[in-house]
Structure 1
Amino acid sequence: MPSATPPSTSPSGPPMLQPSFEDLGTPLSDVTFVVVDLETTGGRAADGGITEIGAVKVRGGDVLGELQSLVNPGHPVPAFVARLTGITTSMVATAPPLELVLPSFLEFARDAVLVAHNAPFDVGFLRAACDRLGYDWPGFRVVDTVPLARRVVTRDEAPNHKLSTLAALFRARVTPDHRALADARATVDVLHALLERMAPLGITHLEDLATATDPVPPDVRRKRTLADGLPEAPGVYLFRGPGDEVLYVGTSTNLRKRVRSYFTAAEKRGRITEMVRIAHAVTPVVCATPLEAQVRELRLIAEHAPRYNRRSKHPERQTWVRLTDEAYPRLSVVREVRAGTPHIGPFPSRQAAQAAVDALHDALPLRQCTARLPRVARVAGSPCALAGMGRCSAPCTATQAPDAAYDHVAAAARTALTGDASVVVDALAAHVGRLAAQERFEEAGRVTQRLRAFVQGAARAQRLDPVTRCAELVAARPTTAGGWELIAVKHARLAGTAVTGPDEDPLPVVDALRATAEAVSPPVPPAPACHPEEAALVLAWLDEPGVRLVHVSDPWACPVRSAAEHADLGAVSTTVAGLWGEPAEPVDAVDPVDPVADPAPVATMTAC
């Protein structure tokens, strides 16, 4: 019998070997990584404003080389960038341009795997630079340390996944300071720490990194049974932890479908995946209407302050701007609304409220001192510097008679807060125009932000005030099934809701809704008797097409000339149009036609 060919050889080539699992990929210890960080003049890659490149080449934990160079971006470095990075226009004035630095970096990184913290930003700038300068993009493999960190660093360890936070957590040898080489060195230590944590998860080869951040880990997919038995109806769902604590509150028009999505590839948020791993149960709360579900979600978030919800947890932190009740009123940022004085807001933060105060001070010479002044002083006070600049009428110096000039200023401020905001809008719009004409765009932008904060705060308060004063309001909206969706609102708070069928008389349901609606104590206007976001949801519902007013206990109207008139800030010169952000929500009139009840109460309502 002729001898057989050994299985380890081939008649026409080298020996054929059965590869091991280690041969199926490139071990991470053999991969050459180039960790890169850029400092830029802004956030747009198309502008290509790179001011510094820093890169570190590593393999197997050893540093093979470093590259660092300042880059002349071809235009001045913005002031806020200089404050952040310490790189000034004078520093880059003599630096080489990007067309001389980029080839050196491409050669340094050749045949390596690029690594960056928030890689889309840095790689986007590098690709845009290659396109602009005529270089072919080498097609680097790219590893982003941000999603890797989200996979293995929990919220218990770090509040976020910023480079500075991770560097402190992993005790990096270099502290990131917004300079390219230092940040790249810190990213090297973060990368090594993340890879060390991923090794027990089976991520040991370069090819494993491609799927390291894939959603739906097996332990999360196994939790999909938590959605079993949930109703396919609108409502609120509460994820609960091992101790029955509320981890997360959400809302949906289909509870079962929404909760099931948390265990599929549709869920991309790392913090929510972490929450699902902890969750032991899901509690559904079925609601009659989507509006009720949204309101219940807000109330449950405010009640439980779930650790994985980011918004609406602390309504008490909302701030207001108040014109004080004094002989010579001044502006004050407060947490609570007091009766008898005008307020605007609420503002999402104290910084936003202070911006609105600054806008009023820019337009009107209100006093900014905090001393309580008598109507007529026995001894004249010393005028402050603001009085010398014409920004305060110095009522502290009035010793013979009350300061009538300041009374006019206070009256103008009161009008701007509660009605026509033109005096503030016109003054600041003119100021923005002058700054833009002088090409002082950064200052114009800051004035614009102050004006926007004031207009939005004033419009919000002027819209809240009438519905907050209304003791009872009942409205109806036709449903797609042919019936009516009914709500009862008291002092801006949703006090009850109901739905009628297509052949059901809605008037008895309206009577029952009014009789069973929640009792709500009147608040101090314009603060509503609920979470401000709840009042916003109710007002948005009332603004929807097809809504009919069934009953209004009090006049419900907004000023004809109000801050909402300036919501689009159209009074400002188009020279600085690029400085404007999102316009405030427009205020529309609710349809006054009422097919289900006596239309008499509707006649008292104007656009609101």
Structure 2
Amino acid sequence: MTSSAARETSSRWESQRSFDELGRPLRDITFCVVDLETTGGSAEGGSMITEIGAVKVRGGEVLGEFQTLVDPRTEIPAFIAVLTGISNAMVAGAPPIESALPSFLEFAAGTVLVAHNAPFDVGFLRYFAEQQGRAWPRFEVLDTAKLARRVITRDDAPNCKLSSLAKAFKSGTTPNHRALSDARATVDVLHGLMERLGGLGVHTLEELQTFSSRVTPAQRRKRHLAEGLPHAPGVYLFRDERQRVLYVGTSRDLRSRVRSYFTASETRSRMGEMVGIASSVDGIECATPLEAEVRELRLIAEHKPRYNRRSRFPERVHFVKLTREPWPRLSLVRRVLDDDADYLGPFSSKKAAEKCLAALHDTFPVRQCSDRIGRKPGGTSPCVLAEMGRCLSPCDGSVDEATYAAVVRQLRDTLLRRPDEVVEAINAKMAALAADERFEEAGVHRDRLAAFVRAAARTQRLSALTRCPEVVAARREDDGRWAVHVVRHGRLAAAGVIPSGADANGYVVTLRASAETVGGAPGPVPAATAEETEKVLRWLESPGIRLVTVDGEWTCPVGGATRHLAVHDAVNQSRLSLVPFDDRRGLSTVHRPAR
């Protein structure tokens, strides 16, 4: 082969590879542009479809059209009839939605659905498919209204209504609130948007779906950084010119996710700044999504990238400690020691730890001072807490060792097994305060109780797993293969996927032999960060898990704190959903957007 021929072959190969890496070319996509006319704005509220119109196009060529009136089996409101020109007489004898919808779905099969204000039209179609017990096809959906808002300026059109855009792009059809006419106009708008975006380097469906004007041309030119990354789960690291890690992320598809930073689905200004600095992207392919999530946590903790906001400082945690000494007490500490003490945590914030500590002190009158007290105390004046009845006051000899030890045993049992005493005591206190209409004080105790219940549940769940020297589990994934994970003392030690046709037992034996050696350590989270162990736990507790081997006893107390979580989670979710009267930004109304 001559050198020129070799260059030509190489050039063709590079071109083919770049199309594959950048996504599906728009010229090869079949779009089905659909429009509906309805009796109102909400299918759930009883509105019905009166007309379906659709146009199928590919590469700028119209492949077919679909139009049918639909009998709504109800009166069409007068103002709707005036708007659309569709009267009761016109739909009399038309097919019902039970016949019209299957015909449309057959027409649209295998296409990308397009609509102007797509949530409205697609929402109606999906609703009636569900009512008929039909499985909704996995359509990809493109919304021309949403895309136009990213592209069109005030100089182009006064707004992004279909009528305004059709005029701006000189559509051959004027929208008139009839389904097929509006669908034809939407086709012209779609082609106009695609032509304009083509000049900005948008040539694939993926780029069209995710385009945003907030992503600069300079960012788009860096999309070559995604080349060479695999379509596989893993971790990616953005680096600057000095090879410093700027950002660490994870994805089930490395190439698609990294490419999205340059094709506009990632529009956070902070990420735009990061992409502007980045000069390279490294990808680490992982056997399973769980391994990718764990590697991400470990790399963030190692490099502490400036553009990652979470998980950078796993060492900045707090624990509530029940000491081991003649007169035990509760204290707030930053790390777990091998001192036979009992620990609750870790807490990601000191504030949460303090709330939990207050809940325990509200229930158990153990001493709160940090003084060293011998086995035979005495001669010290009682503190204010003792005078208030909130401390047994061992410092002045007010309590004997056996009585104090009995209270400590109850406290230890509350931390490790049954939280009921704290729950009942604080609930009673909240009820009394609420009865006196002292709601703010009751709220303080509610937050303290929630902090304690969450911490106790977390500690009990983490401790149960970290006590096990080894847990091996497997789950059948969507592709039919089995993902296997080896967990040692709560730390992910190995991950793999059994190849098709391979001996499963032999594969697991080999995976265990090659797994990381993990030693036990004191405390509820001895061998990994709490965040890592919780990710592992979520996978182990997911549907379809099969335990292959369990070395040790993996159990949580039946009367543990987890059973109290649902109430506190529901209360917290309810509080988050409230919108202050002076802040209406979170409120919205449901209506059919203007065309």
Deviation of the 1:579 alpha carbon? 7.5
Deviation of the 1:376 alpha carbon? 1.2
Q: How does 1:363-378 map to 2 (within 5 A)?
A: 363-377=363-377
Counterpart of 1:551 (choices 549, 552, 560) is: 549
Distance 2:572 2:288 in 1: 41
- Contact 1:482/1:501, CA 8 A, preserved across alignment: no
Provide closer, same or farther for how the CA distance between residues 341 and 409 of structure 1 changes in structure 2, counting only shifts above 3 A.
same
Q: Which residue of 1 aligns with 2:354?
A: 354
Counterpart of 2:509 (choices 511, 529, 532) is: 511
Q: Which residue of 1 aligns with 2:227?
A: 228
Deviation of the 1:443 alpha carbon? 1.8
Q: How does 1:37-116 map to 2 (within 5 A)?
A: none
Distance 1:578 1:285 in 2: 36
Structure 1 residue 298 corresponds to structure 2 residue 293: no
Deviation larger for 506-515 or 222-231: 222-231
- Contact 1:242/1:280, CA 8 A, preserved across alignment: yes
Q: Which residue of 1 aligns with 2:529?
A: 531
Distance 1:527 1:481 in 2: 33
Distance 2:573 2:284 in 1: 45
Q: Which residue of 1 aligns with 2:342?
A: 342
Q: Which residue of 1 aligns with 2:237?
A: 238
Q: 1:525-579: per-residue Cα shift (whole Å, max 9, x none)?
A: 3123012111001000000111011111111111111111211247x9x9x8998
Give the partner amino acid of 2:425: A
Provide closer, same or farther for how the CA distance between residues 580 and 382 of structure 1 changes in structure 2, counting only shifts above 3 A.
farther
- Contact 2:490/2:525, CA 8 A, preserved across alignment: no
Q: Which residue of 2 aligns with 1:171?
A: none
Distance 1:403 1:554 in 2: 36
Structure 1 residue 444 corresponds to structure 2 residue 442: yes
SS at match of 1:568: helix
Structure 1 residue 417 corresponds to structure 2 residue 440: no
Q: Which 5+ residue runs of structure 1 have no aligned equivalent?
A: 1-212, 583-608
**Stretches of 4+ moved more than 4 A in 1?**
576-582
Deviation of the 1:214 alpha carbon? 4.3
Q: 1:449-496: per-residue Cα shift (whole Å, max 9, x none)?
A: 111111111111111112111111111111222221101011100000
Give the partner amino acid of 1:486: V
Give the partner amino acid of 2:341: T
Aligned residues: CA RMSD? 2.1
Deviation of the 1:432 alpha carbon? 1.3
- Contact 1:483/1:503, CA 8 A, preserved across alignment: no
Counterpart of 1:457 (choices 448, 455, 458) is: 455
Percent identity, aligned pairs only?
51
SS at match of 1:567: helix
SS at match of 1:295: helix
Distance 1:490 1:421 in 2: 28
Q: Which residue of 2 aligns with 1:250?
A: 249
Deviation larger for 235-244 or 516-525: 516-525
Provide closer, same or farther for how the CA distance between residues 577 and 528 of structure 1 changes in structure 2, counting only shifts above 3 A.
closer
- Contact 1:250/1:297, CA 8 A, preserved across alignment: yes
- Tell me the TM-score normalized by structure 2: 0.59
Q: 1:421-462: per-residue Cα shift (whole Å, max 9, x none)?
A: 001011111111122222222222221111111111111111
Counterpart of 1:490 (choices 488, 491, 496) is: 488
Q: 1:2-32: per-residue Cα shift (whole Å, max 9, x none)?
A: xxxxxxxxxxxxxxxxxxxxxxxxxxxxxxx
Distance 2:273 2:435 in 1: 52
SS at match of 1:296: helix
Q: Which 5+ residue runs of structure 2 have no aligned equivalent?
A: 1-211, 578-595
Give the partner amino acid of 1:229: G
Distance 2:505 2:519 in 1: 26
Q: 1:115-135: per-residue Cα shift (whole Å, max 9, x none)?
A: xxxxxxxxxxxxxxxxxxxxx
Q: Which residue of 2 aligns with 1:132?
A: none
Distance 2:413 2:290 in 1: 34
Provide closer, same or farther for how the CA distance between residues 581 and 397 of structure 1 changes in structure 2, counting only shifts above 3 A.
farther
- Contact 1:322/1:341, CA 8 A, preserved across alignment: yes
Q: How does 1:143-222 map to 2 (within 5 A)?
A: 214-222=213-221
Deviation of the 1:264 alpha carbon? 2.6
Q: 1:69-122: per-residue Cα shift (whole Å, max 9, x none)?
A: xxxxxxxxxxxxxxxxxxxxxxxxxxxxxxxxxxxxxxxxxxxxxxxxxxxxxx
Q: Which residue of 2 aligns with 1:287?
A: 286
Provide closer, same or farther for how the CA distance between residues 436 and 236 of structure 1 changes in structure 2, counting only shifts above 3 A.
same
SS at match of 1:521: coil
Higher relative contact order (CA 8 A, sep 6+): 2
Q: Which residue of 2 aligns with 1:428?
A: 426
Distance 1:264 1:446 in 2: 47
Distance 1:546 1:504 in 2: 20
Q: 1:285-312: per-residue Cα shift (whole Å, max 9, x none)?
A: 0001000000000000000000000111
Give the partner amino acid of 1:506: A
Deviation of the 1:364 alpha carbon? 1.4
Deviation of the 1:315 alpha carbon? 1.1
SS at match of 1:333: strand
Q: Which residue of 1 aligns with 2:473?
A: 475
- Contact 1:520/1:529, CA 8 A, preserved across alignment: yes
Deviation larger for 340-349 or 439-448: 439-448
Q: 1:369-406: per-residue Cα shift (whole Å, max 9, x none)?
A: 110111212x331111111111011111228x833332
Give the partner amino acid of 2:346: P
Structure 1 residue 325 corresponds to structure 2 residue 335: no
- Contact 1:492/1:529, CA 8 A, preserved across alignment: yes
Distance 1:391 1:338 in 2: 28
SS at match of 1:317: coil
Q: 1:212-254: per-residue Cα shift (whole Å, max 9, x none)?
A: x941112222222211221111100000011000000000000
Distance 2:507 2:334 in 1: 39
Give the partner amino acid of 2:440: E
